Structure 1
Amino acid sequence: MRTKTDNTEAHSLPDGLTYYPDNRPGIRREKRGHGFSYVAPDGTRIDRGPERQRLERMAVPPAYSRVWMSPLVDGHLMATGFDQRERKQYRYHPAWAGARSDTKYASLANFGHALPRIRRWIMRDLETEAGELQFGLAAVALLIDRLSLRAGNECYTRDNGSYGALTLQRRHLRFTKDGLRLLFKAKGGKMVRRAITDKTLMRALQKARDLPGASLLSWIDEHGTVQSIGSAALNSYLSDAADHAVTAKTFRTWAGTRAAFETAETGGASIKDIAQAAADALHNTPAIARSSYIHPKVIDLAGAEPLSLHPNRIAGLTASEARLLRFLEGG
């Protein structure tokens, strides 16, 4: 867990909450008969009373394993556990969950400022040899930046046959007379068809495709073994490039907000129009795009007059990205 991220979260707590992550002593949930028992950090069992009721109200699913629960009533993190796919799940205090949502959008302008630096970082690492980890990370990051793809993970691929940037296979990349085309099933069973004409991305994918193995984007370790690229490594790479906490989802939030803004800034767009623009860019439903990937300030542009923003050109950002950044910072 990145210290930089922890410090940021600890200093952005809503009033009344205590920062208490799950690397500190917590309450364990253990299977006992047909139910569960709860064991405090000092080893005593919590079998009855208000504390037992508090733990049960968290409603952590019975199927979760390695459950950790906060001993603090006002802890920002209430519980963690691993689901049946071995994915770590988090249960936050309601006040913290709301604050995190606000913070995600409040920090989007910071991401916009960092984006030119991230893109320079990616371009530098694309000059390394195919097969090196830095090249693989840069190629995945470029794919997410240019095509707004989900990162994906091996659990979804194994269980649902769906793919993301990290799990794409060589067979998903096709050569056409106009360039390259990606064709694959994404989360939710939605088919993604993306034409690739960007020269930099084409070169990177062609280099990556020449590596051994079925995966499109991978790297080769010192023993000559082909290795996959995980989401933790990708998010660490992006955060290092930005010099603050960034994930693949941050790119998708930026992309969804940008697409929505490009529709809204011309004036007269409805909320439906704005949400649909983001959904088209992200291969999501309009409802999910609106709730998770569009900055509230852009949604507030529904029905408004056309905007007139003329920011100075920013190297590393498109013209619409520069206008979006100006808008997010108050015009």
Structure 2
Amino acid sequence: MARLRKADPSAPGIERRRRGRGFEYFDQETGDKVDEDFVLERISALAVPPAWKEVWICPDEMGHLQAIGIDAAGRRQYLYHQRWRERRDQEKFDRMLRLARVLPSVRVEVGQQLHAAGAAREKILACSIRLLDRGFFRIGGEDYAETHESYGLATIKKEHVTITDESVLFDYNAKGGLHRRWSLIDPDVAEVLRMLKRRRGGGDDLLAYKRGRVWIDVRSSEINEYLKSVAGEEFTAKDFRTWSGTVLASVALAVSGHATTSVTSKKRAVTRAVKEVAHYLGNTPTVARKSYIDPRVIDRYNSGWTIRPVLDDLGTDDPEGDLLIQGRIEEAVVDLIEEHRNSDSVDRVA
């Protein structure tokens, strides 16, 4: 099998030009029109969106990066070779498991910082990590929020938050124009956010810390840097969403376990689980399954294995009132993915 090669998008490639209702393709190095059937078939299989502008296509079918373009929103987009995507996805889900293993210690550190006095940087960043851990947030980008008026954790405004006792209600427009209304019960977070919402100084962003007499808005890069410092590895906010999606899918499939005696019922159960994860994360089902659910969870389910033995833990509330999808249930998900079949947290359904 041929090996992938590193593609250089700054080098001459294949250019796409509009012609009538379709496109023609030209070699940027020679200027010649591309008319070889096997090349045109490869380009067609890439399914580069028609709306993309300034499209560059790799001339090498084994290049790790196959195409680049600018979408309708002005963002640069990339299409990678399937084998490259598979490799990166495997790395992503392996990194997610490493995050799962250090989460208990991260949560302890975050909890300690949340009880610090004032509005110090570490306290506000710890609050940000708690929100990532429990609220399924996207991190959010400053430039994206300004251009598209859609928000993530780092860019949510004070006006997007309502605090009642120990409950925090987030109501805002998320990525893709999705309106997100999400409630979280957490007394520590409620106390910190109440202070930030009532502050007199600083701008409109909710998350900000105080340095001397100056309020400084939290940036997404600071949240990721803080996460790295408490976790000991280069994790990102997206790793939290990936882990959350994987845990939620594992629970949903375990709940469906009693009705999985046929291939058809299993497919339906997977579809329901994916839709449930998409609802929590604010994605389409396609994106949720492709990007945020470890495929090994679905593979194990199709082979009859789930985390059904720990489902009783879902009926217990923690001190903050949240259902327990953390702790033992997370440990069970790790056992499920790593095929620890002797674990008392996993069981064969069918």
Question: Normalising to structure 1: TM-score of the pair?
Answer: 0.71
2:178 equivalent to 1:190: yes
Q: Deviation per CA, 1:69-92, whole angstroms, max 9, x where unpaired? A: 879774434566776766553342
Structure 2 counterpart of 1:246, from 229, 235, 246: 235
C-alpha change, 1:21 and 1:148, in structure 2 (3 Å) is farther
Partners of 2:254 and 2:129 lie apart in 1 by 28
- The DSSP-based 3-state class of the residue aligned with 2:219 is coil
Distance 1:178 1:60, change over 3 A: closer
The letter for the 2-side match of 1:145 is D
Instruction: Supply the distance in 1 between the matched residues of 2:3 and 2:191 (Cα, whole angstroms).
Output: 52
Q: Percent identity?
A: 28
Q: 8 Å contact 1:136–1:218 — kept in the other structure?
A: yes
Structure with greater helix percent: 2
- In 2, Cα distance between equivalents of 1:62 and 1:29: 17
1:17-166 matched pairs, under 5 angstroms: 17-19=4-6, 26=11, 47-48=31-32, 74-78=62-66, 87-126=75-114, 127=116, 129-130=118-119, 132=121, 134-166=122-154
Structure 2 distance, partners of 1:220, 1:85, is: 35
Shift in alpha-carbon separation, 1:109–1:165, aligned structure 2, 3 A: same
**TM-aligned CA distance change 1:157 to 1:308, over 3 Å:** closer
Q: Gaps spanning 5+ residues in structure 1: where?
A: 1-13, 40-44, 311-315
- After superposition, give the CA deviation of every residue in 1:141-199 in whole Å (9 maximum; x if it has no partner): 22111111112223443344322211111011113256332222222333322223212
Question: Structure 2 CA distance, aligned partners of 1:167 and 1:330?
Answer: 39
Determine the C-alpha separation between the residues in 1 that align with 2:253 and 2:165.
Answer: 35
Q: Rate the CA distance shift 1:92–1:303 in 2: closer, same or farther, 3 A.
A: closer
User: Given the alignment of the two structures, is residue 16 of structure 1 paired with residue 3 of structure 2, yes or no?
Assistant: yes
Q: CA 1:137–1:304 in 2, change beyond 3 Å: closer, same or farther?
A: same
Counterpart of 1:144, as a letter, is: L
Q: Which amino acid aligns with 1:293?
A: Y
Largest Rg, 1 or 2: 2
Q: What TM-score, normalized to structure 2? A: 0.68
Aligned with residue 208 of structure 2, among 218, 221, 233:
218
Structure 1 residues 226 and 243: CA distance shift in structure 2, 3 A? closer
1:166 aligns to what SS in structure 2? Answer: helix
Measured in 1, the distance between the counterparts of 2:8 and 2:119 equals 38
Whether 2:216 is the aligned partner of 1:229: answer no
C-alpha distance in 1, partners of 2:75/2:124?
23
Measured on the aligned residues, the alpha-carbon RMSD in Å equals: 4.2
Aligned mates of 1:279, 1:261 — CA distance in 2: 13
Q: 2:334 aligns with which of 307, 317, 325?
A: 325
Q: AA paired with 2:338?
A: E
Check 1:261–1:124 CA distance in 2 against 1; reply closer, same or farther (3 A cut): same
- Which deviations, in whole Å up to 9, do the C-alpha atoms of 1:178-234 show, x marking residues without a partner? 63322222223333222232122222322332353210013456793633413x333
| Structure 2 gaps, min length 5 | 16-23, 260-268, 311-324, 341-350
Q: Which stretch of the first structure deviates more once superposed, 94-103 or 117-126?
A: 117-126
Q: Deviations over 1:100-141 (max 9, x none)?
A: 123323433222112223323433544374252x33432222
